[in-house]
Amino acid sequence: MPPRSRRAGRERPVVTQPEGPVLVVCRGGDCGNRTLFPGTDHVGQLRALRAGVVGTTARVLTSPCLDACEHANVVVVLPGRAGRERGGEPVWVGGVLDPAVTDDLVAWVAAGGPAVAEPPVLVDIARVRPSRQSRQELDEVLEG
Q: Which pLDDT does position 136 carry in this prediction?
A: 87
Distances in Å between the Cα of 53 and the Cα atoms of 59, 93, 96 are 7, 18, 17
Whether residue 8 has pLDDT greater than 50: no
Secondary structure class of 48 (helix, strand, coil): helix
Return the higher-pLDDT residue of 2 and 124. 124
Report the alpha-carbon distance of residue 22 to residue 8 in Å, rounded.
Answer: 31
Please report the domains of the chain, with CATH numbers, ordered by start residue.
22-143 (3.40.30)
Other Cβ atoms within 10 Å of 52 Cβ, number:
19
Compute the distance between CA of residue 80 and CA of residue 141 in angstroms, rounded to an integer.
17
Instruction: Please provide residue 55's backbone torsions phi and psi, each rounded to the nearest 5 degrees.
Output: 85, 0
Q: How far is CA 22 from CA 34, 59, 95, in A?
A: 25, 5, 18
Per-residue pLDDT, 144:
65
Per residue in 64-84, pLDDT tens? 999 999 999 999 999 999 999
User: Taking the alpha carbons of 35, 40, 45, 48 in that order, is the dihedral positive or negative?
Assistant: positive
Instruction: Tell me the one-letter amino acid at 73.
Output: N
